[in-house]
Amino acid sequence: METLLELQNVTHVYVGDQGASMAVENLSMAIGRGEFVSLVGPSGCGKTTVLSLLAGLLTPTKGVVLAGGERVVRPSSKIGYMLQQDYLFPWRTILENAAIGLMIGGGRNAAALESVRTLLAELGLAGTETKMPYELSGGMRQRVALARTLATEPDVLLLDEPFSALDMHIKLQLEDLVHETLAARGKTAVLVTHDLAEAAAMSDRVIVLAPNPGRIHAVFDIPEAVRSLPPTQARKLPEFQRVFDALWEALERGEQAGGEGS
């Protein structure tokens, strides 16, 4: 599989009023084109830092971050970011919100808007185009955020806990929708989540980080039987339970290792 994203011996130190704090140390990982990788680990182990490095929002203190073989030095339209909060503009319609990235990129023409309408329909949002964000439920708003992220046709989606603020059944529906939508488009995705079941059900590979400072503790390749099904179906398999148990154990051991090292 062709490598699309790469961290090579990356260390990141935040420097602030409180002094310097090493968020991740000597971290290396390679993510293939079309791969769905989740990052899990205890609070503070550097998951969001890794996403920010991949997004070009942070520059590593040491080491190199590559996308498509080129050094990531600033944010790019090729890498989309989706967060826990949808950050829709309250005074703009759903269509305008979904098309905002295209408009900023100078693509506000009839064809571009039509492609966003099609995308909204694909995500189950037909008929909402002229509504305002306050008229939509949390799950629908998050689907608009997904449409906005996909509209600029990024190669990579960085997903920072995008489902964590949603009710359980909406969260499960969205996991299926995101899984299907990204797989159909061959997108590469990196998901940060605290939810081990979500990571196990959605990913091709799960990377467990340990804290103090953030580093890789364990890596799990998800079995084909689990990967080939929509997440809600995959959750019913015995293989899924085995992966979940192994992740849980690795996380607990990683936390202990982090505590000892700190």
Ligand X SMILES: Nc1ncnc2c1ncn2[C@@H]1O[C@H](COP(=O)(O)OP(=O)(O)OP(=O)(O)O)[C@@H](O)[C@H]1O
Listed in sequence order, the residues at least 6 apart from 44 whose beta carbon sits closer than 8 Å to its beta carbon are 211, 212, 214
Residue 61 contacts residue 52 (beta carbons within 8 Å): no
**String of contacts with ligand X for each residue 125-154, x by CB under 6 A:** ------------------------------
Q: Is 21 in the site for ligand X (CB under 6 A)?
A: yes
Angle between helices 138-151 and 168-185 (to 10 degrees): 20
Residue with tokens 């408009």: 103
Amino acid at position 107, single letter: G
Instruction: Tell me the closest approach of the beta carbon of residue 180 to ligand X, in angstroms.
Output: 27
Q: Is 19 in the site for ligand X (CB under 6 A)?
A: no
**Backbone φ/ψ region at 238: left (φ over 0), alpha (ψ -120 to 50), beta:** alpha
Q: Is 48 in the site for ligand X (CB under 6 A)?
A: yes
Q: Is 47 in the site for ligand X (CB under 6 A)?
A: yes
Q: Scan residues 185-214 and list those touching ligand X (CB under 6 A).
A: 214
Instruction: Tell me the closest approach of the beta carbon of residue 194 to ligand X, in angstroms.
Output: 6
Q: Which of 2, 19, 43, 111 lies at the binding interface for ligand X (CB under 6 A)? A: 43
Distance CA 137, CA 166 (A): 10
Task: Select from 15-23, 30-38, 80-88, 252-260 the region that touches ligand X (CB under 6 A).
Answer: 15-23
Q: Is 159 in the site for ligand X (CB under 6 A)?
A: no
Q: Is 262 in the site for ligand X (CB under 6 A)?
A: no
Instruction: Tell me the closest approach of the beta carbon of residue 146 to ligand X, in angstroms.
Output: 21
Task: Select from 42-50, 91-99, 223-231, 250-258 the region that touches ligand X (CB under 6 A).
Answer: 42-50
Q: Which of 46, 60, 231, 258 lies at the binding interface for ligand X (CB under 6 A)? A: 46
| CB closer to ligand X, 47 vs 171 | 47
Q: Which of 27, 40, 45, 123 lies at the binding interface for ligand X (CB under 6 A)? A: 45
Q: Is 181 in the site for ligand X (CB under 6 A)?
A: no
Q: Which of 49, 128, 152, 173 lies at the binding interface for ligand X (CB under 6 A)? A: 49
Q: Which of 210, 183, 203, 216 is nearest to 243 (CA)?
A: 203
| CB closer to ligand X, 9 vs 233 | 9
| CB closer to ligand X, 33 vs 205 | 205
Listed in sequence order, the residues at least 6 apart from 60 whose beta carbon sits closer than 8 Å to its beta carbon are 7, 10, 11, 12, 53
Q: Which residues bind ligand X (CB under 6 A)?
A: 14, 16, 21, 23, 41, 43-49, 214
